[in-house]
Amino acid sequence: MTSDLSPADRAKRAAAIRACDFVEDGMRVGLGTGSTAAWMVRRLGERVRDEGLRITGVPTSDRTAALARELDIPVITLDDAGWLDVTIDGADEFDPAFNLIKGGGGAHLREKIVATASERMVVIADAGKDVTTLGAFPLPVEVIPFGHVATRKLIGELLAGYDVGGRDVALRMAGGGPFVTDEGNYIYDLHLKRIGDAPRLAAGLNRIAGVVENGLFIGVSDTVVIGFEDGSAEVRTLTAAGGAWDVLDGENIFADPGT
């Protein structure tokens, strides 16, 4: 029952349900990871069950794969799919140019690989993820375990030359030890407060030996679906000129038919 959901979950569900309208019969779909993406996978499962929707999913994490299989969504690897029609995934932050921070759930490496192997990426988020400047959310950087302390030092030295509001670099922990990604790597969270030049920082981080990938998604998506606590959802697209927004709709998915 939607009345039992928290306001945050109502917003996440609204965005996820609206985004599923971008999925058509026969598509190969990248399935994101995280609490908002889980609502999207559940909605696609409903469409598979109730509408006979025929899709193939490529999950971005082991937990998303498990949920998709539980809902009878056929799952294949990205190698088997070759190329995807659309990827739908959440974001921890997005700015007016649709630059993203992702990786709060620790899956940004697979998420970036899947998103960039798609015709389009649709971002789903609640209104709280809409920011003027990226950086309030810690930026995840995935590193290989070998020599990770040295890699951390190099990351810190790099940040000294960039326009950021903070330079704290913290190893992500879980269960008394380092958090380990699905690929067997570690994550350092960069508490930057503000990122002045996200594209430049993304390129700089990936030049460091030991860094596998960072959580900045630059120029990957041109569509964001924003969910609100009242159950409405708004689709925004990025125009070619000036990073302007086009608002496509604001449908309330919880409204009674005919209201």
DSSP per-residue string spanning 196-246: S-HHHHHHHHTTSTTEEEESEE-S--SEEEEE-TTSBEEEEEE-SSTT-EE
Residue 80: is its pLDDT beyond 80? yes
The whole-angstrom separation of Cα 93 and Cα 130 is 6
Q: What is the pLDDT of residue 257?
A: 33
Domain boundaries, the chain: 2-129+219-247, 139-214
Distance between CA 53 and CA 23 in Å, rounded? 9
Average model confidence (pLDDT) for the chain?
A: 93
Query: Is 258 a residue whose pLDDT tops 50?
Result: no
Our CA angle for 213, 215, 219, nearest 5°, is 100
Tokens of 184: 């067997």
pLDDT(69) > 50: yes
pLDDT given for residue 253 in this prediction? 42
Tell me: pLDDT of 244 over 90: no
* Angle formed at CA 221 by CA 220 and CA 223, multiple of 5 degrees: 175
Contacts of residue 97, Cβ cutoff 8 Å, sequence gap at least 6: 238, 243
Express the helix, strand and coil content of the chain in percent, nearest 5 each: 30, 25, 40
Sequence-ordered alpha helix ranges (H) in the chain: 7-19, 35-51, 62-70, 78-81, 108-116, 148-159, 198-205
Q: Quick one: average pLDDT of 171-187?
A: 97
- pLDDT of 1 over the 70 cut: no
pLDDT confidence band for 9 (50 / 70 / 90): very high
Taking 90 as the threshold, does the pLDDT of residue 251 lie above it?
Answer: no
The per-residue pLDDT for 240 is: 62
Average pLDDT over residues 105-119: 98
Does residue 251 carry a catalytic annotation? no
Name the band, by pLDDT with cuts 50, 70 and 90, for residue 2: low
Task: Dump pLDDT digits (tens) for 183-213.
Answer: 999 999 999 999 999 999 999 999 999 999 9
Within 8 A by CB and 6+ apart from 48, the residues are 54, 55, 71, 72, 73
> From CA 110, how far away is CA 248, in angstroms rounded?
29
Domain covering 2-129+219-247, topology: Rossmann fold (3.40.50)
CB atoms within 10 A of CB 196: 14
Q: Is the pLDDT of residue 220 over 50?
A: yes
Residue 182: what pLDDT? 97
Q: What does DSSP say about strands 100-101 and 139-143: parallel, antiparallel, or unpaired?
A: unpaired
Name the catalytic one among 46, 70, 93, 111: 111
Q: Residue range 168-192: average pLDDT?
A: 97
φ, ψ dihedrals at 235, nearest 5°? -100, 125
Pick the CATH number of 139-214 from 3.40.50.300, 3.30.70.141, 3.90.45.10, 3.30.70.260: 3.30.70.260
pTM: 0.91
Q: Provide the pLDDT for residue 239.
A: 79
Q: What's the pLDDT at 249?
A: 58
Per DSSP, 118 falls in state B
192: nearest Cα among 213, 218, 216 = 216
Q: Sorting pLDDT into bands at 50, 70 and 90, what band is 250?
A: low
Task: Please name every residue paired with 238 in a beta bridge, in sequence order, or none if there are none.
Answer: 245
